Amino acid sequence: MDDRGGGSFVAVRRISQGLDRGNTCHSTSAEVVAGSAAWLGRGLSCVCAQRRESDARPSFDLTPAQEECLQRLQSRIEVSYDSSISEHQEALRALWNASFPEEELRDLISEQWKEMGWQGKDPSTDFRGGGFISLENLLFFARNYPKSFQDLLRKQEGDRALWEYPFAVAGVNITFMLIQMLDLEAVKPRSMAGAIFLKFLSENESAFDLLYCITFKLMDNQWLAMHASYMDFNTVMKSTRCQLERELLLEDVSRLEDLPSYSLLTR
């Protein structure tokens, strides 16, 4: 692969997991890497949802309401980012305005985007792997938890590494990690965490966006606790996933706001 021209690349390796309520941290033999240019190619990979052909994990039956909610979420996941669609353009512009309200965006293709942690001057190249939902997730975060969003964007908390993770690209990674962890491209969930999440989704249509916010803040918390640097990103993501799975299975969690890591968020 040659990243000098900014072209996209996808490198896939197999993932095998097992469901064990006594050990909710699934070992991940490898990650799926998807992205473009230098950032993703040098250590910060995108952990993407990948169907597994031979997977003996059990499936969980859904109620009609849960099926309907899952199908709506899957419809969102299937939407690719398209820079020719005005709705997508406006969402991207809204993300900039929420991120940097004091600075006017000169153009949708601009060197300014690098300030947010995109790989180049055109964020649409990074959304090719994440789809429109990864933009929606970031925008939801910015609008609903602006204090936490700005803290992470500007790296305002904790003892930071010299080489930090790029905020926006990390956000796309988190979207994919959640899709993978929760089996959201499957007809039925095949893990207890996925089944529990669909219960929350049937009660709150914004559950995926809210879980995204929780996960982003948890990831940064893990990053600081591990004194991580750029090349440690995949290790931090695995630790984040492990902790999130554990929290979803806690007996006293009846909604996402009950997750211990929800307390990390501030508006």
Question: In the chain, pLDDT over 70 holds for what percent of residues?
Answer: 78
Domain count for the chain: 1
33 lies in some domain: no
29 lies in some domain: no
Alpha helices per DSSP H over the chain: 37-41, 64-78, 86-99, 124-130, 132-144, 146-153, 167-181, 192-203, 207-225, 233-248
pTM of the entire predicted model: 0.82
Confidence grade of residue 59 (pLDDT, cut at 50, 70, 90) = confident
Domain ranges, residue 68 = 64-266
Tell me the per-residue pLDDT of 128-142, one tens digit each, with 9 for 90 and over. Answer: 768 999 999 999 999
166 lies in some domain: yes
89 lies in some domain: yes
Tell me the per-residue pLDDT of 202-253, one tens digit each, with 9 for 90 and over. Answer: 999 999 999 999 999 999 999 999 999 999 999 999 999 999 999 999 999 9
